[in-house]
Amino acid sequence: MKRFILLFITMLLFIPNVKAEEDLVPNAGSGILIEKSTGQILYEKNAHEKRPMASMTKIMSMLLVMEQIDKGKLTMEDEVLISENSANMGGSQVFLQPGETYKVHDLLKSVAIASGNDAVVALAEKVAGTEEEFVNMMNNKVKELGLKDTNFENPHGLDSENHYSTAYDMAMLGRELLKYEDILKFTSTYEDYLKKPDGSSIWLVNTNKLVRFYEGVDGLKTGYTKTAGYCLTATAKKNDMRLISVVMGEDSPDHRSSDTVKLLSYGFNNFKLHNILTTKEKVGEITIKSGKKEKANIYINEDATELLKNTDDVNKYKFDVTTYNIKAPVKKKDVVGILEIKDNKGKVITKKNLVINEDIEKANIIDYYKRNLKTIISGKN
């Protein structure tokens, strides 16, 4: 640990001199740096080169678990029975035993912090019934996200001939996982304990040492096998800007950390994020045909931001709103239109879906009666 800290402090001294045209990840086979909200690529090296990704695989596994929780099909308090299959997984593990029972919360923590292969297989079986069916879910999700250079053969990342991804795809998967910010409660934890049913505890230490040694880092997932080398998908947030970096095929854990630091520091030192419009700001109104309410306020479905160089001035923006013909009933968060945001030269910076923030039921005969009566009274006045 002392050697790691000394190396870390030494490499920080040289970070301000790093430039974009330099090889920021000289020890990596591939790498990438993106800004999370825009998805904009700030740096890349062999970013679409297919490589084994080792335990970074668990980013997808955690994503599927978080999706199930978000959909209400799973809760953090649900209990998971440990099978022979999950308990007998090789590689990194938290030493689960067949027949033991753990909560989803505890297993997810074990995956995020200690990279437990046994824990992630147990979660896979809980979600999909079998490990094989969970892998099908993983690959279906890849297709849904439009990622063409990733294929999964297991939920843990142990070497398998047709198990691969790219730096770009891993960054996109990390971005997708970060939609569920609760995962950061686990990935940002440096150390914790897993309580066993017999009263004993397993010490969990984060395999991503940067959560302790680099300001702002709070995830996401390391990986290592002899075939994959040392890998890391990392994320950090400073000044309301979140970056995601990926390095693959590193030759040592020290180089994995130092190259990641170079990527993140380059991003934070050279770019800034400007918030154009938030989800709390009203964009306009929409007419709801046949609704109990005839009008509803509309908002963007996610914050609109623009990534700028630190030396750039903030643009003056133009907002083009297009609403659809909407008929009740309408649910909260239903898409009712689209917003185009353009800069002062007319270039589209971003597009956001427009939504309403309330449920609107279909009007009944009494509603129409009251509405007509109000119109009559208003006309007399």
- Mind listing the pLDDT tens digit for each residue in 303-333? 999 999 999 888 889 999 999 999 999 999 9
Q: Taking every pair of C-alpha atoms in the chain, what is the biggest distance, in angstroms?
A: 86
- Mind listing the pLDDT tens digit for each residue in 188-239? 999 999 999 999 999 999 999 999 999 999 999 999 999 999 999 999 999 9
Q: Which runs of E-coded beta strand occur in the chain?
A: 30-35, 41-45, 79-81, 101-103, 191-195, 201-205, 217-225, 229-238, 241-250, 271-277, 284-289, 295-300, 304-309, 318-323, 326-327, 335-342, 348-355
Instruction: Count the Cβ atoms, other than its own, within 10 Å of residue 253.
Output: 15
Q: Exposed, middle or buried, 239 (CB in 10 Å: 0-12/13-18/19+)?
A: exposed
The whole-number pLDDT of residue 14 equals 43
Catalytic hit among 36, 45, 58, 221: 58
Q: What CATH number should be reported for the domain whose range is 2-271?
A: 3.40.710.10
Mean pLDDT of the chain, nearest integer? 93
CATH number 2.60.410.10 given to 278-380? yes
Domain ranges of the chain: 2-271, 278-380
Q: Determine the 3-state secondary structure of 182 from DSSP.
A: helix
pTM, entire model: 0.88
- Peptide bond before residue 263 is cis, with ω within 30 degrees of 0: no
In sequence order, the β-bridge partners of residue 319 are: 341
pLDDT band of 10, cuts 50, 70, 90? very low
Structural tokens at position 1: 């640990």
347/317 Cα distance (integer angstroms): 10
Structural tokens at position 335: 């898409």
Catalytic hit among 55, 92, 257, 258: 55
The whole-number pLDDT of residue 375 equals 77
Mean pLDDT of all residues in 52-71:
98
Residue (of 4, 96, 112) closest to 61 by Cα position: 112
Q: Is 103 a catalytic residue?
A: no
Q: Is 55 a catalytic residue?
A: yes
Handedness of CA 327, 329, 330, 335 (dihedral sign): negative
pLDDT band of 21, cuts 50, 70, 90? low
In sequence order, the β-bridge partners of residue 339 are: 321, 352
Residue (of 2, 202, 38) closest to 107 by Cα position: 202
* Cα 53 to Cα 62, 98, 158, 236, 373, distances in angstroms: 15, 28, 9, 20, 67
pLDDT band of 19, cuts 50, 70, 90? low
Q: Note whether 2-271 and 278-380 share their fold.
A: no
Asked if 109 contacts 192 with a C-beta cutoff of 8 angstroms, the reply is: yes
Q: Is 115 a catalytic residue?
A: yes
Enumerate helices (H) and strands (E) in the chain, giving the number of each. Answer: 11, 17
Catalytic hit among 61, 110, 115, 258: 115
DSSP 45-94: ESTT--B--GGGGHHHHHHHHHHHHHTTS--TT-EEEPPHHHHT--SS--
